[in-house]
Structure 1
């Protein structure tokens, strides 16, 4: 069971996210916060697996709250769920420790996928910010992720996994696509990071974009 904490200053948004999560048998909403300070306090008390974090809230905003939650509990997975799809929000919340960034117009199934992926430690993004991260890093306009060359030591299966990582698929979805176990996928991802020097999935996605997958 994935324990979810919802942090958003709009009651209707919290209600909608709760209804969506509670429609799934593997998600349990353990609490709701109407501001960043409350989110930090509830995260410490309720110990959620995933925090759905709005960025614009009264008092402590979502970026500061994310940093405080991640600092206090390194195992907490914060997924930014926001209206604002721009770099001024994307990069600061990732730097604060969020594992992903999805917009509020994300289709319900994709949001559920992002929650489950975040719980597993995957970095989850809506397609628009993911595409922008890849484009900016590949063009050199942003340099938060080093992009090495594709090593010849990558196996054919690792190249297949790399292409699917670049599409934004979670480890579970890649496992289903390739008919292998999720542990096998995690091993491939870890191996690719080791061989390429990429520190995370965004680096792998940038690498895949550079070489044309």
Structure 2
């Protein structure tokens, strides 16, 4: 039996409990207001203004989601992930960043963050991203994905040779890989390809099997060694 929660006249399966952490007080308080007012099913259970406070609040509240600024004094967002993920693995951690924080991308994701988003994204997109992460998907802003795939300071130079596993993919699966490289989530890809999200999930399972990976992030890392534009369709 599913218990529903009624908020503002609408019924939701449950409230998504969120901890926010950012040392810019005006930004984080505005973010709290926007998420609670526009979402309906998001409850802010803690607002931290430092990495130390973020660690304490995540350990205390065990939220569903932690939205962390990358750069905070004393203990930055990456260090927070490193400290709390091993003891609160059920808390899904999303990093909020600007383009100036690119050097933290790999470190944050390797320590357990499953989202890396840009602060200038529209509020509705952030709310959607929270729901995507709650469904078990990794969410990375398209601009960040491009950094993962293109930045010569972050990754080895792309390999112009087509790897053997590429030849095992169908045309549809190769097309889907290009959408992944653009940072689209399953719903967005399903709209682009005019199929259902379940069909995309089925394709993703096949792709993971052929690539020998288990997650979307691992697939993105594997793609980092390729010139994406050279993927044949």
Calculate the TM-score normalised by the size of structure 1: 0.81
Residue from 161, 180, 184 that aligns with 1:165? 180
CA–CA distance in 1 between the matches of 2:206 and 2:64? 26
- Residues 40-76 of structure 1: CA distance to partner in whole angstroms, max 9, x if unpaired? 2221222222211012223322111111121112222
Contact 2:148 2:221 in 1 (8 A): no
Contact 1:55 1:82 in 2 (8 A): yes
CA–CA distance in 1 between the matches of 2:155 and 2:111? 24
SS in 2 for 1:79: strand
CA–CA distance in 1 between the matches of 2:232 and 2:28? 40
Q: Aligned pair in 2 of structure 1 residues 151, 58: CA closer, same or farther (>3 Å)? A: closer
1:135 shift after superposition: 1.7
What residue is the counterpart of 1:9 in the other structure?
Answer: 23
* Structure 2 residue 231 is matched with structure 1 residue 211: yes
Contact 2:70 2:101 in 1 (8 A): no
Equivalences for 1:45-84 in 2 at 5 Å?
Answer: 45-84=60-99
Calculate the TM-score normalised by the size of structure 2: 0.75
SS in 1 for 2:86: helix
What residue is the counterpart of 2:156 in the other structure?
Answer: 140
In structure 1, stretches of 5+ residues that fail to align are none
* Between 161-170 and 47-56, the greater mean CA deviation after superposition: 161-170
Q: Aligned pair in 2 of structure 1 residues 5, 183: CA closer, same or farther (>3 Å)? A: farther
1:179 shift after superposition: 5.2
CA–CA distance in 1 between the matches of 2:231 and 2:137? 23
* Between 180-189 and 96-105, the greater mean CA deviation after superposition: 180-189
In structure 2, stretches of 5+ residues that fail to align are 1-14
Residue from 100, 116, 120 that aligns with 1:105? 120
CA–CA distance in 2 between the matches of 1:21 and 1:123? 20
Q: How many residues align?
A: 210
- Residues 157-193 of structure 1: CA distance to partner in whole angstroms, max 9, x if unpaired? 4334323222211123334444544444323212201
Cα RMSD of the aligned pairs, angstroms, is 3.0
What residue is the counterpart of 1:186 in the other structure?
Answer: 201
Q: Aligned pair in 2 of structure 1 residues 211, 84: CA closer, same or farther (>3 Å)? A: closer
Q: Aligned pair in 2 of structure 1 residues 42, 187: CA closer, same or farther (>3 Å)? A: farther
SS in 1 for 2:168: coil
- Structure showing greater Rg: 2
